[in-house]
Structure 1
Amino acid sequence: MRIFVLLLLLLYPASAEIIEVYPNPFKEEEEYVKIFCHGNCIFTDFEKEIKFGRGVHYLAKNATAFKDKFGFYPDADGISLSNNGELIALIEENSTEYFNWVWRYLDEGVVYYKENGKWDFRYEGWSSFKPVEDEVSGKLILCPCDYKLKGEGVVYSYTIYDAESFEGDFTFAVDANPVGGIPLNVKILEENNEVYYLKSKIYKNFHAKFAVVGDKVVITTENWKWDKRGVVVEFSSKKISKTLKDVFYNDLKYSSKPKSFKNYVKVERGNGKSFDFSGKVTLYVMPENNPVFDFIRNAKKRLYLVAPNIDFEYFNGTPLLDEILNASKRGVDVKILVSYGDLEFLENQGVEVEKLENPKIHGKYLISEDSVLITSANLNKYGLKLNREIALKIEDKKLADKLAEEFLRDFKKGFDEREYIYLLLSSIGFFVAVLIFLKRQQS
């Protein structure tokens, strides 16, 4: 078998690869390039050339700075990369690979890397929490609802509107600069609790929403404000509670001083519906692990998607739009429910879109034939790539079916309201026409 593999490599030699490029680090001397050569190869930035043999090699700007940062010396140093993009190349006997980051996402601290033959990026310093699975029983609450958390633990949220949602002793972590400013509701929490405000260059927002009380896990799509269509999930899991606490305390290193507070926000509540579930759940810590695209890709019969709005703009192509359209093309029943935005163009591609105005949507969740994916992430380039977010996949067909029933009620409600307006306008038009006809008869 080994001889056969060697013959294939000789007959069909693989191309050399540029694996990572770090052109604009937080500390200038730490920039580097990582390459892999299958045989003898030459790296060039078209000002100088460096020769290498087979294997993985690191090229750095400064060998000592690289050693201090990563714990080992690079294979070569002396390179200098432009922050805003330049052409580099890796030349091997039968191939040349080029790379230029000029049209990519440019920012300090961004590492470009190749995965499955495609270029992507990450920030240096992003955490590396891997997905965590467990078999659990719990409940899902569909909001509007009236929710209160009791006990002692930690709460992580983009911001918090309902200070009365907590009864006990909690430590809070919130974003230091949420859209619209920090509500005075958060300031109230400082009277009896520790509150940390998070800000960082490597996460655009700290947008995850969860709480941990002992082994109890609470994951929600809401900023502790319960008057919109959203989701709260409760269950117990030692593994997942540990991971979420690790995320919480890891992110406290980004604590900073808050900016000014805005006015107090009045909180309203509603009567929620509760559904029990039992099955495998998987926790994803984003942005390093994003399950949204795979969830859409794996849907076979139905894909129901709920979000306030969807923005398909991305950094390299339109992957969210592509996955939704591909699902529709392979025969999946795709329906999207939003509260605002112009997505009617999808209807020409076999995707049904409706708007739900009452209650308005704040939650983000997807339903397939046998699973539910709940996430704090807005379906845009920030939520899917740049923010600290979390997602939870629940594999329970009964829950998926129940949530799908609620989705279809909301979907039909949006349709009925639109149809009602159409009928009302038609009736007014008919009434006006009758009046004109009668007036002409009298004259």
Structure 2
Amino acid sequence: MQPRILELFPNPTATGNRGEYLVVRLPERGNWSLSDGYHEEPIPANATGVVALSMDPANATALLDDETAVAGSGGVGEPELRALDGYFPLAASGDRIALRRNGTAVAVVDYDRAPEGHRWRADWGEWRPRGYDPRPAARTENATVTPFVLPDSPEVPVEPLRAADDRLLLAGYTLGSERVADLLVAAADRGVDVRVLVEGSPVGGFSARSARLLDRIAAAGVEVRVLDGDPERFRFHHAKYAVADDRAVVLTENWKASGTGGRTNRGWGVVTGRSRAAAADETTADDLAALFREDAAADDAMPWSEFRNDTEFHGSGKANGSYPTRFETPAPSTADVELLTTPGNAADRLVARIDAADDRVLGVVPRTGGPDNRIVRALRRAADRGVDVHLLVSGAWYDREANRALVEALEGEPIEVAVSEPRGRFGKVHAKGLVVDDTAVVGSLNWNEGAATENREVLLAIEDRSVAEFYARAYAADWRGGGVHLPVGLLGGLGAALAGAGVVARREVAFV
């Protein structure tokens, strides 16, 4: 058994980080100590095995749990909690902790900022909030898939809600739509099991409009829960999805007029259900229902009544735009679907798909976090090896400056980057999606720092050429105002017609 630092918890949610601790593994008794380069603290001389160490063991006891015991001890017993008699703080802003024997470092952990309420473990190699377990990507084969875009098709995301007979689970960042509230209440009235889960601290505050709607929904017997407990597993519950019987709706848009109401945003969405060929298999809806139950049952999810009694609500505007329908929702197709989530697997899977691209990558997102963002770097790598790569970002006033800086930073590279010019077809870009060869990815994930590691996000990767082509056509029209179509190569996928003539077509069709 080698000496090792097994776990760090430098930033509990308690005032003054009360109860912070670390867990070490000591193969035998000896002259052990801890050092951060400024402080040196001896470990109790008779300590051996897996030991939890804290300056405040009274408060640390409540923070240690069975998961810590199993991870630290290899499943053979609980770690012993011992008091550090001297002063040895764990810096939340980052530190270098050394486990020493006879003054010589035998195990070292360097860490950056420790998010509040998160623990680091050696077997994870990352920070995770208490109560959170990453989920593997879940795959459903031969699913029925219907893609759509907003504001063109505002009826498509709510039709499954209207038709639900058995279960209706709605998860969102915010809920501000009268129409959606009406459908939830109507479903509850006809005996459907209806549940709602929303974020408690959205940017700008929790709106009075949303509170009024949730009051009405809860009064109809709907279970409404809010993710706002302490400690929180996620910085934001930013996912936007619904489960209606055996169908799932996954969106880039919020459940409000500007999003699913079709009043402002360019958004992407998809409805997926059970195919006849896979009638007995588990569906994406089942996987999302399991995710919903897990998130809604966690310690940081509180009942609406409890949240409401302790929250100040804020005013909010209402979108009233009207936009033409240019992209009719196509007939359903059959596709393989992969459910991706964050924190956890989504960023890795997106980067892997981009790194494997052969012909095209079309990305659309409001903001990226800059040229060194992990996904942007993957786009740049793809462009460098000859893949046609285009990235469309928001031109909204609050995104414009940063996105113009991105265009300038990537000028001269083979990747094409444009700031959106809606020209009356929609209000602003809010979609978050990718077309990678013949796969489309749709979901709630922005690319800014922390979204992939700290937020709850939900995405679907749909492996089907017709679905990818639908989004590619909408993308082509949105590129710099729709005045110029994308090159033939980007729209044609892997068609044989591209052999030979495709290169010429790409050169002849210019962007303006």
Alignment pair present for 1:230 and 2:240: no
Identify the residue that residue 437 of structure 1 maps to in structure 2.
Answer: none
The separation in 2 between residues aligned to 1:109 and 1:180, in whole angstroms, is 23
Identify the residue that residue 160 of structure 1 maps to in structure 2.
Answer: 175
Identify the residue that residue 191 of structure 1 maps to in structure 2.
Answer: 216
Identify the residue that residue 128 of structure 1 maps to in structure 2.
Answer: 134
* RMSD, aligned α-carbons: 3.7
Larger radius of gyration: 1
Amino acid at match of 1:198: L
**TM alignment of 1:406-421, pairs within 5 A:** 406-411=474-479, 413=481
**TM alignment of 1:36-115, pairs within 5 A:** 44-45=34-35, 46-48=40-42, 57=50, 59-61=52-54, 62=57, 65=61, 69-70=65-66, 71=69, 72-74=77-79, 77-78=82-83, 80-84=88-92, 85-90=94-99, 97-101=107-111, 104-113=112-121
Task: Say which is worse superposed, 275-284 or 204-213, in terms of deviation.
Answer: 275-284
Q: Contact conserved, 1:183 with 1:265, CA < 8 A, in 2? A: no
Task: Say which is worse superposed, 26-35 or 301-310, in terms of deviation.
Answer: 26-35
The separation in 1 between residues aligned to 2:139 and 2:22, in whole angstroms, is 35
TM-score normalized by the length of structure 2: 0.67
TM-score normalized by the length of structure 1: 0.76
Q: Contact conserved, 2:199 with 2:226, CA < 8 A, in 1? A: yes
Amino acid at match of 2:356: N
Deviation string for 1:233-271 (max 9, x for gaps)? 112254432332233333335222343142461444653
Identify the residue that residue 416 of structure 2 maps to in structure 1.
Answer: 352
SS in 2 for 1:128: coil
CA drift at 1:41: 12
Identify the residue that residue 500 of structure 2 maps to in structure 1.
Answer: none
Amino acid at match of 2:469: D
Q: Percent identity?
A: 23
Amino acid at match of 2:242: A
CA drift at 1:209: 0.5
SS in 2 for 1:197: strand
**TM alignment of 1:44-443, pairs within 5 A:** 44-45=34-35, 46-48=40-42, 57=50, 59-61=52-54, 62=57, 65=61, 69-70=65-66, 71=69, 72-74=77-79, 77-78=82-83, 80-84=88-92, 85-90=94-99, 97-101=107-111, 104-113=112-121, 120-135=126-141, 136-144=143-151, 145-147=153-155, 148=158, 149-152=161-164, 153-165=168-180, 167=183, 168-169=186-187, 170-186=194-210, 187-192=212-217, 193=220, 194=222, 195-200=224-229, 201-224=232-255, 225=259, 226=262, 227-237=264-274, 238-252=282-296, 253=299, 254-255=301-302, 256-257=307-308, 258-263=311-316, 265-268=318-321, 270=323, 271=325, 272-275=327-330, 276-291=332-347, 292-312=350-370, 318-340=373-395, 341-342=403-404, 343-344=406-407, 345-358=409-422, 359=426, 360-411=428-479, 413=481
Q: Indicate the structure with greater strand content.
A: 1
The separation in 2 between residues aligned to 1:393 and 1:355, in whole angstroms, is 25
SS in 1 for 2:411: helix
CA drift at 1:139: 0.2
1:32 to 14, 22, 25: 22
Identify the residue that residue 423 of structure 1 maps to in structure 2.
Answer: none
Identify the residue that residue 11 of structure 1 maps to in structure 2.
Answer: none
Change (3 A) 1:405 1:36: farther
Deviation string for 1:136-173 (max 9, x for gaps)? 01201111122233144121111123221453324322
Amino acid at match of 1:380: N
Change (3 A) 1:179 1:30: closer
Change (3 A) 1:332 1:16: farther
SS in 2 for 1:33: strand
Q: Contact conserved, 2:33 with 2:41, CA < 8 A, in 1? A: no
Task: Say which is worse superposed, 23-32 or 247-256, in terms of deviation.
Answer: 23-32
Identify the residue that residue 5 of structure 1 maps to in structure 2.
Answer: none
Aligned residue pairs, count: 394
CA drift at 1:217: 0.8
